[in-house]
Structure 1
Amino acid sequence: MPNPLLEPSTLPFEFPDYSAIETPHYLEAIGHGIQIQLLELRAIAHNVDDVTFENTFVAMERSGAMLRRSIMAYWTVFSAHGTDDLREFDPQIQSMVSDHQDAIHLDDALFSRLVSLDATTLSGEDARLVSETLRRFRAAGAELDPTNKAELRALNSQITDLSSEYSAKLLGAMNEAAVHFTDAAELDGLSANELASAADAARKAGHDGGYLLTLVLPTGQPLLQRLTVSATRRRLFEASVNRGQHGENRTLELGAQMASLRSKRAGLLGFATHAEVVLQGATAPDLTAVSQRLVELVVPAVANARAEAAELEKISESSIQPWDWAFYSAAVARERYTLDTAALREYFELDAVITNGVFAAATRLYGITFSERFDLPRYHPQVRIWEVFNEDGTTLGLFLGDYFARPTKAGGAWMNSIRESSSLLGELPVVTNTLNIPAPATDSPALVSLDEVTTLFHEFGHALHGLFSNGVYPSLSGTSVPRDFVEYPSQVNEMWALHPAVLPGYAVHTETGAPLPEGTVQTLEASALWGEGFATTEYLSAAVLDLAWHSLTEGELISDPLAFEEQVLTEAGLIPDLVPSRYRTGYFKHIFDGGYSAGYYSYIWSEVLDADTVQWFTENGGATRENGERFRTELLSRGNTRDPLESYEIFRGRAALIEPLLVRRGLTKGKQA
């Protein structure tokens, strides 16, 4: 068959024709795309005309059309439906793309032409494009001598190969760690629908019977809240924390090797650590500022966690174990706040949450509307596609939702782009949200937990950031912002999940149609600080662990990753034996195969902006069109077309304050749980 990726798609939005794309097509199109872009860039570098903004920087933004559409189509399907044949090709594709980036950034002639432009007369987005392009080139080694460039290429290639291997082994470890039970009594506490779903998962995995509990990516498994048998909880917990430690899917040494090579690369680039390299392109001023913020939060967070543990021991009548924490924490919430979060699932049906919650909130705030489309080819039957319209009826873009877990899907939840908004290229955005909600048994409603409701709103916040992008240049569009800013819009969008203007529209009992019992939201708000000690401590553990791996000195190799992990967390004042890290080295996909290396601190850094923004919305009338329009115009639509913190200050009227975050997390005096 002819390769559909070699020419622009004729489908609406130039949507990839996934029904016609075969696995080898990705490799062929990416290879062709790389060669074509290299020729385009060579023409720019050796242009005999005087250097201008248009014939150099703008020409670069126009280059690589085939590569862009091919690699974005590939990345979307590989992470969401990484079949065996795709995984066989992936190391080669990742290596090609890594080598191509080096070929661009280490091209002496191209960089020489870029730096020769006098940009003093440029302003706005044009000036931003110049400064960001030159920053990226320098950070990638453009100013190194030939010998060091050759070494840098070799290091980048090794890191890419290890990252690809880590990804493949982690998927195997996730599937391998799924826990099989033969007796339904072991799963006491689960609903009939959940048991049916677990039985269906067991059959699909090849078991002759029984029940299979698959894992989500973080350490904490949602079912631990409801499983009444401690031995069952322990099996599920230990399967989670031991991922990546055994057999052919062991990942620990791969992570350690990547961290070591990154430190060596940092030295080559003139930095003491990989973390310092990463922070050159961040909104945080430096590594000292990030480390100081984490240290300041650890002491009150751990104090809160220990206080919570004492409360749990009262109700459990024994020393609390990490696998029992979630179960007894839920019990305390039920006793203290008459709150049964497990029972809330009956009010949260997935389609209602999406349509009458996530979409309805966006309509209320931004005037956008959604129409589901069934005419475009999907990469998997579970994918849903909506066209998104502005309030005036004009098309904004496409949104894809891929919500259910499957063995071919990477763990976690994320937003991706198949196509980015760019007025220069005349392209409208096509964005995706991918989650890992357990698929319901046939003919059963897809019920989601309160945490999964929050995740749906969170990921759609990323989607809005991509959909609303209003920039000229693709490299500055949408979510192409510093890593420690990118989580901010998504965290803000979480506020609408329980907002009184939004919640009643989607939270109805799936069988009776009754609304949430009166007082539920007030109870949730009253209980908001309960569990924050645990939640903040497990998050800070992951952020500290990430920075420790990426603060190694040049070429330093950790021989015992688990001992290193234990030492780092204990010396930081954390309590890993009681509150394990949200991610451990063996399954820390964010930092070893997700672009967050030395950047996991971003969530708490962005949450300062988020909490301050929630305060602004609250003080200014909440979910109104006027408020939504201001947030869209001054922040969501801006992407990286200007300094994101400048966008924030223009939106907010001042720099962000940390106090709203401290109150939210229970980290101020008198606010501890």
Structure 2
Amino acid sequence: MRLNKTLLTFGLAAVLLQMPTSTDAQTTAGGRQNPLLQKSSLPFGAPDFSKIQESDYLPAIEAAIKNQRENIQKIVSNKKKPTFQNTILAYEESGVLLDKVTSVFFGLTSAHKTPVIAETQKKVSPLLTELENEISFNQKLFERIKYVYDNEYKKLKGEDQRLTEVIYKSFVRSGALLSPEKMERMKAINSRISELQQQWGNLLPAATNAAVVWVQNKEELTGLSDADIAQCKKDAESRGGKAPYCIVIVNTTQQAILTNLQNRELRKKVYEASIHRADATNPDYNTFPIVTEIAKLRAEKGQLMGYKNYADYSLEKTMAKNSKNVNDFLSQLIKEYTPKAKAETQAIEQYAQKTEGKDFKLQPYDRFYYSAKMKKEMLNITDDEVKPYFNIDSVQVNGVFYAAHRVYGLNFKQRKDIPTYHPDMKVFEVSDKNGKPLALFYSDYFRRPTKRGGAWMSSFAKQSKQRGQLPIIYNVCNNAKAPEGQPSLITWDEVCTLFHEFGHALHGILSDCKYNTLSGTAVARDFVEMPSQFNESFASIPEIF
């Protein structure tokens, strides 16, 4: 069951926001109103980061949890026969305030986890897990939901029927039909997994930040462009200057910088820093015990729910349905792809042997480097020669936004008046071809130590007609920011990533649903990548390219 629905509120939501949350929670120690518990005056109800302080999150979340508990109690205390309106819809709207606050807070835990935010997360996670367990195993609440599902479901239409089904099945999947003994065990498993996931979430970014490779001499960076060397110098300065240069490890196992790095020993260091960033090589950042315990607990959870394994339990909500279908698909893919992969690897190794000798054995840290050289010889082009055409600002406006305008009639206007949680971010108002406002879109493209690796889309508010809420969507990436006064250039792969993540953003921006639970990217996990991959294909269309 998903309690963090990430939304902001109007309409009925605004009424719920007026419900008492205690004066202490709404005001801070200095007597100021907690902005997270007040209705935002900004367009679309956007979070006002010019007013929100890091110390506001914990009391706001505590107040919002109290608010949802009160709303749930009203549902279970209702003496009237359970109906869609007084049970399903009431439950759907019970966590409006909590959704509002946590959608902002968890945006920061991924993209700007300062020490204060990290400490707050430690305190918040067990509170939310406790609430989730409390609601998931509230038998009086489930009885009312089940009554509506059993007696009213077939009479309902459209989204009303779908919402009833989703909510009922979410309770069942959480264990509402388990015996009391199994419920207690499930609660314990949920709590422990939450603790472990938080530990992992804190440890991995710290491990990645600690895995930088320090470089003493510029000569060791031979092969890199002047811009890349300048970036290495900037990264070293921002991380304490233990050496004149450093190579920052990014999210993926392979590191793009290996494409041009001539020094083989340094390539090896970078690769090994990447693959060993969070294993027993450095006991301070060993995630193996965490992952092992999570896997065991998930296996037990799957078995408690009557499944052979956790994979089958997890996949039930996807298009794939079960682990057999997934394994069959992967086996077929491996069968078809392996000969091609082996042939490609052999070709790269043979190419490298022309200059390195016949005894040269291609290693994982060599592949990018010699593949790029081979590509240059065959096609007379390199990624570095392409990068000057891809200024990230131009890619966003003249590529990503242009494609959305041509395909969907969307228009984008930058809103410099709307505050953000970091100065690198940009905000755009999205409107349709007639100028009707549709959404706000935030972009946060540059890496920093407080941001986890990777690229993703999420929302400060999901679209909901019931709540009168237009979507507030954001994309986060980890591109290198150029030194002051220079354009930030990105590779073709990074261009594709911008288009890909904006495909997810469009899924949220163009959502047209009545209920928050059903809107935006609330679809099967293995379908959610379809809009993003579809949008990624526009990057290579000549008119856009």
> Fold conserved (TM > 0.5)?
yes
CA RMSD of aligned residues (A): 1.2
Offset at residue 339 of structure 1 (A)? 3.1
Q: Which residue does 1:127 correspond to in 2?
A: 161
Aligned-partner residue type, residue 251 of structure 1 = T
Residue pairs, 1:87-102, within 5 angstroms: 87-102=118-133
Q: Which residue of 1 aligns with 2:176?
A: 142
**In structure 2, C-alpha distance between the alignment counterparts of 1:401 and 1:283, rounded to whole Å:** 30
Q: How does 1:214-363 map to 2 (within 5 A)?
A: 214-245=248-279, 246-317=282-353, 318-363=360-405
Contact 1:422 1:477 survives alignment (8 Å): yes
- Equivalent positions of 1:98-113 (< 5 A) are 98-113=129-144
Q: CA deviation at 1:228?
A: 1.6
Deviations 1:379-418 (A, max 9, x none): 1111110010111110001000000000000000000110
| Distance of 1:43 and 1:280 partners within structure 2 | 32
| Alignment-mate amino acid for residue 188 of structure 1 | T
Aligned mates of 2:139, 2:434 — CA distance in 1: 48
Tell me the equivalent position of 1:626.
none
Q: Helix, strand or coil: the match of 1:485?
A: coil
Distance in 1 of aligned mates of 2:51 and 2:436: 29
How far apart, in 2, do the equivalents of 1:203 and 1:456 lie? 27
Q: State the SS of the aligned residue for 1:432.
A: strand
Give the C-alpha shift of residue 148 in structure 1.
1.6
Q: Does 1:391 align with 2:424?
A: no
Choose 322-331 or 203-212, whichever is displaced more: 203-212
Percent identity over the alignment is: 36
Contact 1:5 1:66 survives alignment (8 Å): no
Q: Distance in 1 between matches of 2:464 and 2:81?
A: 26
- Look up the match of 1:616: none
After the TM superposition, which of the residue ranges 328-337 and 443-452 deviates more from structure 2? 328-337
Match of 2:187 in 1: 153
Which ranges of 4 or more aligned residues in structure 1 deviate by more than 4 Å? none
Q: What is the distance in 1 between the residues matched to 2:175 and 2:67?
A: 23
Q: Partners of 1:46 and 1:262 in 2: how far apart? A: 34
Question: Do 1:345 and 1:448's aligned partners in 2 also have CA atoms closer than 8 Å?
Answer: yes
1:83-124 Cα offsets, whole Å, 9 max, x none, are 011111212212222221222121101110011112111122
For the residue of structure 2 that corresponds to 1:120, the secondary structure is helix
Amino acid at match of 1:476: L
User: What is the aligned counterpart of 2:203 among 146, 162, 169?
Assistant: 169
Kindly provide the CA deviation profile for residues 446-493 of structure 1, in whole angstroms up to 9, marking residues without a partner as x: 000011000000000000000001000000000111211111111111
Distance 2:121 2:339 in 1: 45
Q: Is the 8 A contact 1:7 1:66 kept in 2?
A: no
CA distance in 1, matches of 2:382, 2:422: 35
For structure 2, the residue ranges without an aligned partner over 5 or more in a row are 1-31, 354-359
1:208 positional shift? 5.0
**Deviation of 1:2 (Å):** 2.6
Amino acid at match of 1:173: A
TM-score in terms of structure 2 length: 0.91
More displaced, 156-165 or 292-301?
292-301
Separation in 2, partners of 1:133, 1:395: 30
Residue number in structure 1 paired with 2:53:
22
> Any stretches of 5+ residues in structure 1 without a counterpart?
504-673
The code of the aligned residue for 2:97 comes to M
Query: 1:369–1:389: 8 Å Cα contact kept in structure 2?
Result: yes
Distance 1:180 1:209 in 2: 6
User: What CA deviation, in whole Å up to 9, does each residue of 1:167-201 have, x standing for no partner?
Assistant: 11111100110111011111112111211111011
- What residue number does 1:8 align with? 39
Preserved contact between residue 225 and residue 384 of structure 2 (Cα < 8 Å):
no
User: 1:336 offset after TM fit, Å?
Assistant: 2.5
Task: Give the Cα–Cα distance (whole angstroms) in 2 for the partners of residues 231 and 209 of structure 1.
Answer: 17
How far did residue 19 of structure 1 move?
2.1
Opposite residue 301 of structure 2, the aligned amino acid is R
Partner of 1:415: helix, strand, or coil?
strand
Q: Report how far residue 209 of structure 1 moved.
A: 4.2
- 8 Å contact 1:29–1:66 — kept in the other structure? no
Alignment deviations for residues 219-256 of structure 1 (CA, whole Å, 9 cap, x no partner) = 01111111122112111111111110112121111111
Q: Which amino acid aligns with 2:72?
A: L
Q: How does 1:612-623 map to 2 (within 5 A)?
A: none
**Residues matched between the structures, number:** 503
The residue identity in structure 1 corresponding to 2:260 is R
Deviates more, 1:382-391 or 1:10-19: 10-19
Deviation by residue 1:328-354 (Cα, 9 ceiling, x = unmatched): 111222222333223111111000000
Deviates more, 1:155-164 or 1:17-26: 17-26
Tell me the distance in 1 between the aligned counterparts of 2:87 and 2:222: 65
